[in-house]
Amino acid sequence: MLAIFRKEINAFFSSLIGYIVIAVFLLVMGLFMFVFPDTSLLNFGYASLGPFFTLAPNVLTFIIPAICMRAFAEEKQTGAIELLVTRPLRDVEIIMGKFLACLSLVLIALLPTLLYYYTIYQLGSPVGNIDAGGTIGSYLGLVFLSMAFVAIGLFASSLTSNQIVSFLIALALSFWCYFGFDLLASLPVFYLNGESFIQSLGMQHHFRSLGRGLIDSRDVVYFLSLSAFFLLLTVLSLERRKW
């Protein structure tokens, strides 16, 4: 597993892929956080990273499928997947190596955004007047959210040898898992009957819950279970080659 992890990390940073992903994420978030007046933290009126934690999942919905789309699709297209599986590695080890590498790249991209926290911390009146608990919970939510999106991206990549198709499948699944259940719950047929249950099936509900600063084990179990579910589907998808 560690060999696959190192191979994937080297692939990200020996080419422009890793640098482009990090630069695009930071550029987009920087523009929204400090340049565009409607979402600028400087115009928000009080010390809060609320706009950042509202926008970051939207950006990750696109960025993470782009990171993961080559994970298996490229190797299927080039035939390298057959060489990879001949190594003394189980499918689970291959998948977990790629999962950890993709997740690490996302976390590296998130790391510089801690400067946003420092900026708002210093701009608060008095200095430090910011909800630290909510900020920590929201960052933890972004980590769990990234885990789930990466698992979805790997599953999508295992289904096809076309990277564009992989990206679109991952984008659709990620969008549905994050936004879809809230949209479904807003329909009149669900609005008065089981709305909270429908919402609780989606990522957005649990991400917002973590953002309140109280770490609920149900939210943690949800994200871990969702990630494990899509990783299991990835294992089953790769197992098809043996049928």
Give tens-digit pLDDT for 113-157: 888 888 877 776 677 667 778 888 899 999 999 999 999 999 999
Residue bearing tokens 């994420």: 25
Distance CA 6, CA 126 (A): 45
Q: DSSP H helical segments within 44-127, as ranges? A: 50-68, 73-78, 80-85, 91-110, 114-123
Rounded to whole angstroms, the maximal C-alpha distance in the chain is 65
- Residues 151, 98 contacting (CB under 8 angstroms): no
Q: What's this model's pTM, rounded to 2 decimal places?
A: 0.90
Domain ranges of the chain: 2-242
Q: What is the DSSP string of 154-177?
A: HHHHHT-S-HHHHHHHHHHHHHII
- Residues 231, 239 contacting (CB under 8 angstroms): no
Q: How many CB atoms lie within 10 A of CB 3?
A: 12
Helical (H) or strand (E) element with 181 = helix 181-185
Distance CA 81, CA 74 (A): 9
* Max mean pLDDT range (50-54, 86-90, 160-164): 160-164
The closest alpha carbon to 165, from 77, 236, 230, belongs to 77
Cis peptide before 112 (omega within 30 of 0): no
Give tens-digit pLDDT for 185-239: 777 766 555 557 788 888 998 998 888 877 888 999 999 999 999 999 999 988 7
Distance CA 167, CA 133 (A): 34
Structure tokens at 179: 């936004």
The closest alpha carbon to 62, from 106, 19, 11, belongs to 106
Confidence at residue 243, expressed as pLDDT on a 0 to 100 scale: 47
